[in-house]
Amino acid sequence: MDLPPGPRAPAAWQTVAWMARPAAFMRRIHERFGDPVTIRMYWTDEPMVLFSHPDAVREIFKLDPAIAPAGQSWEFLRPFAGEHSILLLDGDEHMRERRAMQVPFHGERMRAFGPVIAGLARRELSTWSGRVTTLDRMRELTLEIILRVVLGARGDDETARLRHAVDTTLESVRSMPRMLSMALVQRDLGPRSPWGRFRIAVERFDALLLDIVARRRADPGDDSVLSFLLEQRDEQGRPPSDRHLRDQLVALLVGGHDSSASALAWAFERLARHPSVHARLRDGDPAYLEAVVKESLRARPSLTIAPRRLLAPVEIAGHRIPAGVQVAACIWLALRREDLWPDASAFRPERWLEGPRPNPLSWIPFGGGVRRCTGAPFAEMEMREVLRAAADLRIRPVRPEPERARRSMLVVVPDRGGEVLVG
Ligand code: HEM
């Protein structure tokens, strides 16, 4: 069966372009082949068809998980994510897990985290002066936020130990080619081999997480996400096992750390090059702040695709796609379609305040359907709090030209780490 057209270059070449210059690669293939377009990556024999039109995006997000599971696309994360992970589950089990994990990130419970986040953001920003690599700083801040809010880390000692363990573990996971090759090989050639080192880091990390879980079971007395997860009960009234809680915490770490850090680094990258937008933030208008967050996630989304693996043939936007192929809503392309976002490459928060609200199926930085990011309201709140705290900062770009995009594990980050000059 014929797939939509796409580059004929070898999978290895496409993979290099996809990793090293993702924005340029997607722009080029879109200009050359239109929508949809079929690409090939070296780590899998399955081609991937990228769609960006809202009608196709709607169909992808509505696909039955029984024939288009999303969990299978993250299979390579299993050694770290764990067997109970929401990222890997599909069907009823996935929906149960989703319900449990969504609650602490919504409504009053979530808003209660606002002041904690604002305090941590102010503390971080007060240390900035001279040349600052915002991606590094935001990785530290978003991790600190997760440790305090999700794990309920208490005191500087506990937080420092956890931070060190997470950093070491994520370092081995952050390089996607390395993670993929390790997941494929999975041969323990001793503690110095990549897989051996990874196993040891995960074991140390798990020991720390299980220790926190045990201590919180004994004394849950705080309002962290973990203390809420401890209250879950299944249909038989049983509490979650330690391994299950461990997998939930890892999913929140994997889902919520690098993605938020890169989204914030991009926001600084954009603000430094748009001083009038930054100046308007100082007026303290909450609607404008929200527009800046939405526009930043539109102009520089931190994830580029929401993939689903097809177990049966389906028709999407009139294209018959066979089983064994991956289809993806291409977040990056959907957010820059000129027909939906006039002057799409411009960073213009005003577009959110003037004229009609955009079609929700074209603003998809958090994916959609039954896999839509469960942390989305939290992530947006986190961005608002950090940017509010940054309103009075004086920042300039180190170089005037916009930073290019490159991949770091699953997310797309500014090539130079969102460098700014502060002061
Ligand atoms: C700006 C920051 C963030 C972005 C851009 C982002 C984006 C995404 C995207 C695109 C997906 C996949 C959706 C799909 O396949 O349709 C996802 C899933 C997920 N995200 Fe986020 N995310 C962010 C922050 C967070 C935070 C802060 C958390 C939690 C603390 C989180 C937890 C998750 C989880 C658990 C999933 C899996 C949902 C499922 O499979 O049902 N994310 N995110």
Mutation test residue for ligand 1: of 117, 293, 373, the one with most atoms within 8 Å of CB:
373
404 contacts 26 by C-beta, under 8 angstroms? no
In the chain, % of residues over pLDDT 90 = 67
Query: 134 near 268, Cβ under 8 Å?
Result: yes
214 C-alpha vs ligand 1 centroid, how far in Å? 27
User: Residues 13-27: what's their mean pLDDT?
Assistant: 94
Angstrom distance (rounded) from CA 61 to CA 307: 10
Question: Which run of H or of E encompasses 37?
Answer: strand 37-39
**Ligand 1, CB within 6 Å, residue ranges:** 70, 86-87, 98, 101, 251-252, 255-256, 259-260, 263, 302-303, 306, 365-368, 371-375, 378-379
Is pLDDT at 327 greater than 90 in this prediction?
yes
Q: Which atom of ligand 1 is nearest to the CA of 306?
A: 15
pLDDT digits (tens, 9 = 90+) for 215-261: 888 887 767 899 889 988 888 889 899 999 999 999 998 888 899 99
In this prediction, residue 193 carries a pLDDT of: 72
> Is residue 51 a contact partner of residue 316, using CB atoms and an 8 Å limit?
yes
* Confidence check: pLDDT of 360 > 70: yes
Q: Which residues pair with 205 in a beta bridge?
A: none
Reported pTM: 0.94
Instruction: Please report which confidence band the pLDDT of residue 103 belongs to, taking 50, 70 and 90 as the band edges.
Output: confident
Q: How far is CA 53 from the centre of its chain?
A: 22
Q: Which helix (H) or strand (E) holds 132?
A: strand 130-133
pLDDT in tens, 249-303: 999 988 888 999 999 999 999 999 999 999 999 999 999 999 999 999 999 999 9
Q: In angstroms, rounded to a whole number, what is the distance separating the alpha carbons of residues 368 and 373? A: 7
Q: Tell me what pLDDT residue 183 has.
A: 56
* Ligand 1 atom closest to Cα of residue 329: 16
